[in-house]
Structure 1
Amino acid sequence: MTIATVRSDLLVAHFAGKLAFETDASDVHADQEEGVRFVLVDSRGASAWAQGRVVGAVHMPTAQIAARAAEEIRHEVPVVTYCWGPGCNGSTRAALEFAKLGYQVKEMIGGFEYWAREGYPVENDHGPVVRAKDPLTAPVDAITCDC
């Protein structure tokens, strides 16, 4: 592998751009805890939603966003989308639909998989689902990874 030299200004623009459009489970959870105003949208289908979801999320499958968003989510409220996990680009497609409608939107990278693996609150149709933190995704003996 060859590491090419890239101008510093291009690097800064690239990584700042990513942070403008993406967030992660840790930051979303911290914003929930701090009472930051936003809507967390689960863009998966009905069976995935029933199996498990982020506590406090709104279920709005991507195919329904154009028809439902304006009536259910105020335009001035930021939106964060998520889908299954890093192997799925459903949250990207959902974020695109919200962006087309004029919403401020970010994608939660890692999706539901990393939310659950990091031990954040999960529920299904039967109530809370308790999961231990996965030591490969979150520090077991600390609140955050300090990254």
Structure 2
Amino acid sequence: MTNTLRTPAADPAAAAEFFAAELAFEADPDDVVRDLEAGATAGFRLVETRSPEAFARVRIPGAINLPHWEIDETTTAGWDRDLVYVCYCESFQCNAATKGALKLSRLGFKVKRLAGGITTWQASGYPVEGEGAVAGLHGISCDC
């Protein structure tokens, strides 16, 4: 038996349920950048969940900054509950986006997490802005 098949594949119905759920929780950077480039941002808002310093260094254009440790009823007062908030942080090795998405969902907001964070975004060649972007520096760090 191969290592790949040592654990059997899931039943197709179970696999379909799992992958549908996964898509409900994550946004693909390619989909997001296509929407941003087309000006089709109605319905969602990008939320950078790292520190203000990290946000100043490099961020996705149009994103807002709310560090995950500051997310509460007060800091989100007035947020549109009809929007989907797409949280992002540094990378797969950082969980600031997960912490932010958890807090926002507990407050009753619809959320997704941007797969791969800003590291994957920038590695894909997608546009960024900020002090580090202007200088040509990556400026990425977890900072959470």
- TM-score range for the pair, normalised by the shorter chain length: 0.7 to 0.9
Q: Which of 5, 10, 31 is 1:6 aligned to?
A: 10
Q: Counting strand residues as a fraction of each chain, which structure ranks higher?
A: 1
CA drift at 1:5: 3.5
Equivalence for 2:105: 99
Deviations 1:31-60 (CA, angstroms, capped at 9, x unpaired): 222313111000001221121111110010
Q: Secondary structure at the match of 1:80?
A: strand
Query: AA paired with 1:8?
Result: P
Q: Counterpart of 2:85?
A: 79
In the TM superposition, residue 110 of structure 1 has moved relative to its aligned partner by: 0.5
Q: Which runs of 5+ in 1 are unaligned?
A: 132-147
Secondary structure class of the residue paired with 1:41: strand
Q: Does residue 1:70 correspond to 2:74, yes or no?
A: no
1:36 alignment counterpart: 41
1:77-98 Cα offsets, whole Å, 9 max, x none, are: 1110000011111111111111
Higher relative contact order (CA 8 A, sep 6+): 2
Q: Which amino acid aligns with 1:57?
A: A
Identity %: 33
Question: Does the C-alpha gap of structure 1 residues 5 and 118 become closer, same or farther in structure 2, counting only changes over 3 Å?
Answer: closer
Q: Residues 106-117 of structure 1 correspond to what in structure 2 (within 5 A)?
A: 106-117=112-123
- Could you tell me how far apart the structure 2 residues matched to 1:129 and 1:28 are? 24
User: Structure 1 residue runs of 4+, over 6 Å off?
Assistant: none
Query: Alpha-carbon deviations, 1:9-37, whole Å to 9, x = none?
Result: 11111111000110121111112223131
TM-score of the superposed pair, with normalisation by structure 2: 0.82
Superposed CA offset, 1:100-143 (max 9, x none): 11111110010010111111111114774668xxxxxxxxxxxx
Q: Which amino acid aligns with 2:24?
A: A
Q: C-alpha separation between the residues in 2 aligned to 1:128 and 1:105? A: 30
Alpha-carbon RMSD: 1.8
**Inter-partner Cα distance in structure 2 for 1:6 and 1:75:** 36
